[in-house]
Amino acid sequence: MRVLYLIFDAAVTCAVPAVYLLYGLPFGAVGAAVIFFTLFLFINIMPGIYTKVTAKFAVLAGGSDLLITFILSVCAQSALLIYRISSALFAPELDVPYIVISVVVDIIVFWNGMIRCYLTSYQLGITLRVVAALVWFIPAVNIVFLVMIIVKTREEYVFERQYEAKEREKASARVCATKYPILLVHGVFFRDTKAFNYWGRVPKAIERCGGTVLYGSQQSALSVEQSAAELAAKIEETVKSLGCGKVNIIAHSKGGLDARYALSRLGSDKYTATLTTVCTPHRGCVFVEKMYDSMSEKARQRMASVYNAAARTVGDTAPDFLSAVGDLRESACAWLNAATPDSPLVSYRSIGSYARHPTGGRFPMNVSYPLVSKTDGLNDGLVSVESMKWGESFTLMSPTGSRGITHADMIDLNRENIKGFDIRSFYVDLVSSLREQGY
Q: For position 18, what pLDDT does the model report? A: 76
- Check if the beta carbon of residue 424 is closer than 8 Å to that of residue 413: no
pTM: 0.86
How far from 12 is each of 16, 50, 67, 79, 427, CA to CA, in Å?
A: 6, 20, 14, 16, 45
pLDDT tens per residue across span 228-263: 999 999 999 999 999 999 999 999 999 999 999 999
pLDDT band at 49 (very low <50, low <70, confident <90, very high): confident
Alpha carbon distance 289, 291 (integer Å): 5
3-state secondary structure of 353: strand
Reply yes or no on whether the pLDDT at 314 is more than 50: yes
Q: What percent of the chain has pLDDT over 90?
A: 59
Mean local confidence (pLDDT), 81-93: 74
Domains of the chain plus CATH, in order, are: 2-159 (no CATH), 175-436 (3.40.50.1820)
Reply yes or no on whether the pLDDT at 27 is more than 50: no
pLDDT tens per residue across span 199-216: 999 999 999 999 999 999
Which letter does DSSP use for residue 189 in this model? T
How far from 284 is each of 39, 293, 344, 382, CA to CA, in Å?
A: 63, 14, 24, 10
Q: For position 356, what pLDDT does the model report? A: 84
Reply yes or no on whether the pLDDT at 280 is more than 70: yes
Reply yes or no on whether the pLDDT at 196 is more than 90: no
Alpha carbon distance 311, 376 (integer Å): 28
Alpha carbon distance 39, 33 (integer Å): 10
pLDDT band at 90 (very low <50, low <70, confident <90, very high): low
- Check if the beta carbon of residue 48 is closer than 8 Å to that of residue 62: yes
pLDDT tens per residue across span 285-296: 998 888 888 888
Q: For position 424, what pLDDT does the model report? A: 95
Q: For position 77, what pLDDT does the model report? A: 85
- Check if the beta carbon of residue 239 is closer than 8 Å to that of residue 247: yes
